[in-house]
Structure 1
Amino acid sequence: MTMLRERQVLRWRVAASLAWSVILLPVCCVVFIVLSQIQILHPIQWLTDSISDLTSSYTIFCLLLISAILGLQCTFLMEYYTVVPSIPCSRLALIGNTLLPHRIVHSLAHVVMGVLASWCCAVMSKGKYQLIVVSCTSLPSEDESDKPSLCLNESHLFQLLCGAFFGYCYSLQYFVHNMNYLSFPSIQQYKYLQFRRCLPLIIKQSSFQSLYFTRNYAILYYLFGNIPRTWIQTALNLHIDRQQPSLDTLRGLLNLTVFYQIWLSGTFLLSAWYMVWIFFRIYTTEARIFPVQTSFAEEAEKCLPFILSSNTLPLVKYLAMQDLVLLSQYSPSRRQEVFSLSQPGGHPHNWTAISKECLNLLSSLTSRLIAHQEAAASNGRMKVPSSPKQTRKSSSSSGTSLIEDSAEQTQKLSTVPRIGIPSLLKTTSLKSSLDTGSPFTPPGVKRMSESLDPNTPWHDSVQSPHIMRRSAKLWTSDSSVQKNGSEVSNLSPVTLSPVCNGAKQGIFSTWFQHKLDQTLFNKHHPEASSEDVFADAQIHIWALEALSHLVAASFSEDRMGVVQTSLSAVLATFFTLQEAVEKHFKLPHASSKPVRNPGSLLDSSYKTLRFSLRAALKTAIYRITTTFGEHLHAVPVSSEHQKKLQQFLDFKE
């Protein structure tokens, strides 16, 4: 029932965005008709022709058809929106994402809508673009001089195919640039102010993009334009007007009148689509107020704690978290409802549900960061290669026994239970566990022990072209605070591989795999993996801000002390997340900040979410420490977190 109600709210917002787009559509049509019939030397005739065209029946029909196209556009926007962007790690993955079945349907639908919109533009422009069939200016042959002949209007066909090309390009960039991603504004403004700010960007983006698409379409039509033209001519049994230059030639493509008409039609089409898209983003990301508590049991599903903890639409959950942030900062009366106790019973159900959901979100992000660090550190795990000397020994009988002993010893090492040990003792304990002085020790284990010893020549030198020493593994620990304040550390075990991949696969296969990874389509983007980890960081930023503001406000507003019971868990979660974030930024390419274009209509804020979360996390901790001050020393936290807390209290972090 709740899901159905929230979908109805979303439909009403989409309907409002469509209504405003349809209201502004006649204004766009007036501008298009006036500019398509421009006559600078005859302004009076230009004005009268424009007014007569605006009041004609075919213009009204085109308005209705374009309104239906915008309605279909809103339907696709509602079906394909997301609050978490899709970030491919390579060009091959990007191409694969565009070839998904539902995205192919999106592209085909926009191709059809582009053709219909271009037909409307051709009809409203009148002149030689209005009809696809025209009378021939020259007869095709002398034998048919007494028969009327019809020819194909290539200018009209050129514009229809251009609309199909524009529709496909728009659909392609819709997914490539994550235009289906809804980014919530950091500053709350009226809808009118948001649209007024975006209107110049819409015109600029549509104009330049139409120019870019027109250039690409002209090149494509120059190469393959004769194929659809011949097919349409044969299907409709039409002739070619030899008096008019063909548009798949340089003379035809250099016609400035045709170029201007195509560019203007493309600008009108893209402006209408971008306008619907902007209205959809403005209305769907508009802040919504959820009640914190209610006196009626049947309305409990509408309350903020229930929405946050339920499995509802992702957009509704984001709106609820956004409302929680605004509540924690600007609404003292609603904060009192969060800190209130239930009657009867006297339990802090509201605070418990809200804080639990926020802490779960932050803990899940911490676990994801630790897993990402483990995956990144797996490239630095030590692998013991096989030397040519060992290969030669393996061909003899004595070498066979040595290999069997080595395999048996490796199997014994793998069956030893893995115990978490301190990071400073890993190398020492591993070296001591390998008895290199025994005459029965396999040579592979001896070389592994020598590689761990910094005094041996194996430590910093390479003895074979197939051997490469990798950096040490990044060890991560997951500290959890117990009731008595003790710290538990879970460390990942060491993984040893007795044979390197190059020796196992061969020189050719290793070279081929390396070349495949370096190809144009399979080359991985350095920052893509880091951006993918923080793809949904917006809701985590809100969780940080909401918790920190509520905890800081509880210092003077929490009369029952409900926040004090979970202050230890909040601090421990914040410090653990900060440790994971700082370790993540030490990885390669994690701290490289992409360049943002503030004058672009397309939003790329998702690429910098990791930096926003890092700043929000440090700000949240400072907000709590500056509010409570030295009182935080009474909060039971681990010794490691106590040191971190003291650094924040001394403003040294």
Structure 2
Amino acid sequence: MQNTLLPPASAGVGQQPTSRPVNTVELECKRICVIRCLRAVTCNVAMQFLLLTLFLLFVNFSVWHPINWIVQTFRLILSIYTWLCITPLIAIVIIYGIYLGKSYLNERQMYRNRFMTIYKTTLPKCLFYTLHFLIGILTTWFYSRFLSDDYHTLFLSRSECSTDSYKLSSSQICVNEKYLLISLYGSLIAIWYCWKKDPSSESCEFPIIHQSKYLRIRAFLYSVLWTTLIQVFVPVMVSHVFYSLIGRLPFQWFLRRLLSVEFVLNGNVHVYDIKLLIITWILITHILSNLHLMAFLFQAFLTQPKVFPIEAGSLSDNVFNKQQVNEVTLVQALANSKVPIVRQLAALDLYTLSEYGDLYKRRQQIFALSIPGGHPYNWNALSSQCMSLINAFNSELRTAVNNLKNLPQIKLNNNVLPNQAKYMQPFSSNLQAMPVPEFRSSTPTSATEMADKIRNRQYNESCGIRNMLTPMAPTDNEQLLSPIKPISDPCARFNQTMCILQDKIQSVKTIIFNMPGIRFLFGENEMAQLHALLTISKADEIGWMVQGLSTIAVHSLHEDRYGVVQMNLPEIITTLLQLRESINQLPPSLFNVNTVSPYLRSFQSKPSGAILLRNAVKRSLYNICITFNEYLSELVTNQNDLRILQNYIDFLEA
């Protein structure tokens, strides 16, 4: 039978070259994320109608006609005019959701200096600022359609701005001050949210206790509406009073200078205008709550736990279940580096199946042996993948800590230059001993003796006679009285000149770098690498892997019938101890909870990544030491490691 799979060399002249194979695992991981992002965008669109309903119920509230109040509200929601007006807002929400989902799916980048940070993040931040500005403007424009005539018109007729003593000229334009004020507040609060939260560098935060999406969204909706309603009341009231008293004239002058058009405000904003104050308060609360909800909905859908199969389906399963062919296994999801959120979901699934007792059947698939052959392929693949990720993270963490410790003690902003600082470095053990200088006589040498010495040295160098003794450095008197410089090798003289030139260039670079602006932009941040490694998402991922492996090892004492886990248990313990040692070398500032701002702390349920990782390693070592207390001396041979583990056995490790 002729083989149809020919090598590329045997292909015909007119045959097209073979296409590049498609990575089905990566496509399946992206498909999982795209589906979840589409659901989050759809839920965001539906949330706009829910918030509109709440706003209309508040605006059209009537105690005497409750039935008419409800009917009129839903009639407005279902009208064609409302759907046409909400279309621009929905379009901006969809675009904002696409970019927000992209920022959540991308891995957070690390930049060593402020210049690269500004260069790489300026365009995404400008895009997000523009989208937030449009959301604020369109929200106030759309919701003002359902208010009275004083709030939904920007330009007024000249008669409304004219009085008996003042008439508008043909070049002047009358502007509705109330509408302009609420639009200004709406855009400023959206820009302030973008500056405070920075959605372009946001990462998904997994909850501590996992619940269904409905429960999480309902609880967050109640809390965010009440929290923002209380938080914005005082700023809105202060800004309203400030604008009513002294802010109108500067604002009018600023508009005239900015747009080169002579605007005239109608002047109907007063301190005692309670209606304007309440409407502004409600609109700002609505915009801020809407932005918080859009970010939370993406996190709620992307962080929803997913069950990954332990092994791919058999041949019989593939015949009847076509969807299982492209299903991503747990090991494949952990090995995926293109989509970080899928790797975090796989680590969470590993932690979940190791913790709960009702997942006994899934753990049995990990402990099972292959048929035929009897090899623990599932456990070997899972443990090797987790150990490689943990060891890679530990190696990066140690490199960052060592770079932080090996910083030069002589700062560049001191008066010591690099060519002077290189002689002040500490000696290394592999350096050769410096020759001991010979002691010279303190008695002065005559001019005749010094001339004879110089003449003999020149004669020896010209004839190629090498001095077998250690050459002594010429004294100051010899250098001053020597009329002829010693003849040296041209290559050595060139190298000496290049060294001097390099020192001068380095000195100029140091002087330029010590300038305040240059140092601020191009100075390297020593803590940038540690902050990039110890984010909450990365700490969650490594912590779940560590706890998952340790808990599976604990369950294997009673559930593993073949003892496949015991072969890798010493390696797991050694890796945990190495990770513990790296965490203990971290700076104490990374374990400080007060570094997070109070505003972000109110919406953040977890401490810093260093604290999460330290607690995960400590919990894993405690579980292993308590379970394998009687066998630790056989599993661990290093006496120093045994002393450390003894502290966990005695519950002395805090």
Query: What is the aligned partner in structure 2 of residue 258 from structure 1?
Result: 276
* Whole-angstrom CA distance in 2 between matches of 1:150 and 1:373: 63
Structure 2 letter corresponding to 1:262: T
Residue pair 1:133, 1:151 contacting (<8 A) in 2 also = yes
Report the equivalent of 1:497. none
Report Cα offsets for 1:444-499 as digits up to 9, x if no partner: xxxxxxxxxxxxxxxxxxxxxxxxxxxxxxxxxxxxxxxxxxxxxxxxxxxxxxxx
Q: Does 1:319 align with 2:332?
A: no
Aligned match of 1:367 in 395, 414, 417?
Answer: 395
What code does the residue aligned with 1:326 have?
T
Alignment match, 2:335: 309
Match of 1:32 in 2: 55
Q: 1:99 to 1:567 in 2, by over 3 A?
A: closer
**2:145 counterpart letter in structure 1:** V
Hey, what does 1:96 align to over in structure 2? 118
Give yes or no for contact 1:328–1:335 (8 Å, CA) kept in 2: yes
Residue 268 of structure 1: aligned partner: 286
Give the letter aligned to residue 556 of structure 2.
Answer: S
In the TM superposition, residue 210 of structure 1 has moved relative to its aligned partner by: 4.6
CA contact (8 A) 1:177 1:602 kept: no
1:129-208 equivalences under 5 Å are: 129-138=151-160, 151-175=174-198, 180-207=202-229
Query: 2:15 maps to what in 1?
Result: none
Match 1:77 to one of 85, 88, 100: 100
Which residue of the other structure, out of 355, 359, 364, is the alignment partner of 1:329? 355
Cα gap change, 1:192 to 1:222, in 2 (>3 Å): farther
Q: CA deviation at 1:345?
A: 2.3
Equivalent-residue separation in structure 2 for 1:227 and 1:80 (angstroms): 36
Other-structure match for 2:514: 513
1:546 deviates by: 0.6
Q: 9, 25, 35: which is aligned to 1:12?
A: 35
- When residues 61 and 307 of structure 1 are mapped into structure 2, their CA distance, relative to the original with a 3 A threshold, is same
Q: Could you report, residue by residue, the CA deviation over 1:577-627 in whole angstroms, capped at 9, with x for unpaired residues?
A: 11111122xx35344332668996764467511112112112211211211
Partner of residue 120, structure 1: 142
In structure 2, C-alpha distance between the alignment counterparts of 1:525 and 1:253, rounded to whole Å: 49
Q: 1:138 to 1:644 in 2, by over 3 A?
A: closer
Equivalences for 1:32-71 in 2 at 5 Å? Answer: 32-36=55-59, 43-44=63-64, 52=72, 55-56=75-76, 57=79, 58-71=81-94
Q: Deviation digits for residues 527-554 of structure 1, max 9, x if unmatched?
A: 7764333122211101110110011111
Q: 1:176: Cα distance to partner?
A: 6.8
Correspondence for 2:562: 560
* Residue 367 of structure 2 is aligned to residue 339 of structure 1: yes
Per the TM alignment, residue 387 of structure 1 is displaced from its structure 2 partner at its CA by 12
1:577–1:513 CA distance, 2 compared to 1 (3 A):
same
Alignment CA distance shift 1:441-1:210 (3 Å): farther
Rg larger in structure: 2
**Would you say the 8 A contact 1:131–1:153 is kept in 2?**
yes
Q: 2:583 is matched with which residue?
A: 581
Q: Among residues 526, 549, 552, which one is paired with 1:550 in the alignment? A: 552
How far the C-alpha of 1:245 sits from its partner, in A, is 1.4
Give the partner amino acid of 1:635.
L
| 1:70 and 1:273 in contact (8 A); partners too | no
CA distance in structure 2 between the aligned counterparts of 1:649 and 1:442, rounded to whole angstroms:
65
For 1:285, the equivalent position in structure 2 comes to: 303
User: Which whole-Å CA distance do the structure 2 matches of 1:569 and 1:524 have between them?
Assistant: 37
- Residues 308 and 94 (structure 1), Cα distance of their counterparts in 2 relative to 1, 3 Å cut: same
Length, aligned pairs only: 546
8 Å CA contact 2:364–2:559 kept in 1: the answer is yes
Paired residue for 1:459? Answer: none
For residue 55 of structure 1, give the secondary structure of its aligned residue in structure 2.
helix
Residue correspondence of structure 1 range 460-609 to structure 2 within 5 A: 509=511, 513=514, 530-535=530-535, 536-584=538-586, 587=587, 589-594=589-594, 603-604=603-604, 608-609=608-609
Partners of 1:229 and 1:157 in 2: CA distance:
14
What secondary structure is seen at the aligned counterpart in 1 of 2:96? helix
Show the counterpart of 1:458: none
In the TM superposition, 1:435-454 aligns within 5 A as 439=439
Distance 1:80 1:278 in 2: 14
After superposition, residues 623-634 of structure 1 pair within 5 angstroms as: 623-634=623-634
> In 2, Cα distance between the equivalents of 1:47 and 1:137?
39
Structure 2: distance between partners of 1:514 and 1:630 = 62
User: Aligned with 2:582: secondary structure?
Assistant: helix
Shift in alpha-carbon separation, 1:198–1:598, aligned structure 2, 3 A:
farther
2:611 is matched with 611
For 1:651 and 1:572, the matched residues in 2 are separated by 19
Contact 1:10 1:284 in 2 (8 A): yes
Change in 2 beyond 3 A, CA 1:379/1:9: closer
Residues 524, 280 of structure 1: CA spacing in aligned structure 2 closer, same or farther, 3 A cutoff? same
Matched residues in 1 for 2:154 and 2:591: separation?
Answer: 56
Distance 1:530 1:291 in 2: 34
Q: 1:266 to 1:89 in 2, by over 3 A?
A: farther
Q: SS where residue 289 of structure 1 aligns?
A: coil
1:287 counterpart SS class: coil
TM-score relative to the length of structure 2: 0.70
Counterparts of 1:403-422 in structure 2 under 5 Å? none
The answer to whether the 8 A contact 2:111-2:117 is kept is: no
Query: Per-residue CA shift, 1:166-206, capped at 9, x if unaligned?
Result: 3333333331795x321111212222322233223311343
Q: Match of 1:168, SS?
A: helix
Taking a change above 3 Å as real, the CA distance of residues 59 and 210 of structure 1, as seen in their structure-2 partners, is farther
Aligned pair in 2 of structure 1 residues 139, 342: CA closer, same or farther (>3 Å)?
A: closer
For 2:267 and 2:277, locate their aligned partners in 1 and report how far apart those are by CA, in whole Å: 14
Q: Contact (CA 8 Å) 1:328, 1:550: kept in 2 or not? A: yes
**Can you give the 5+ residue segments of structure 1 that lack an aligned partner in the other structure?**
389-393, 395-402, 415-425, 444-500
Alignment equivalent of 1:356, drawn from 384, 387, 390: 384
Q: Once superposed, what is the RMSD of the aligned Cα atoms?
A: 4.8
**What is the deviation of 1:375?**
1.5
Alpha-carbon deviation of 1:324?
Answer: 0.8
Cα distance in 1 for residues equivalent to 2:602 and 2:181: 29
TM-score (norm 1): 0.70
Structure 2: distance between partners of 1:164 and 1:634: 67
The answer as to 2:296 corresponding to 1:294 is no
Give the Cα separation in 1 of the matches to 2:373 and 2:397.
Answer: 40
Q: Distance in 1 between matches of 2:222 and 2:471?
A: 76
* 1:72-98: CA deviation from partner (whole Å, max 9, x where unpaired): 3322321221476678899x5798279
SS of alignment partner, residue 565 of structure 1: coil
- CA 1:135 to 1:266, structure 2 compared with 1: closer, same or farther past 3 Å? same
Gaps (5+ residues) in structure 2? 1-23, 319-324, 440-469, 474-502
SS state at 1:137 partner: helix
Deviates more, 1:74-83 or 1:216-225: 216-225
Describe the shift of the 1:111–1:344 C-alpha distance in structure 2 as closer, same or farther (beyond 3 A). Answer: same
Question: Displacement, 1:380?
Answer: 5.3
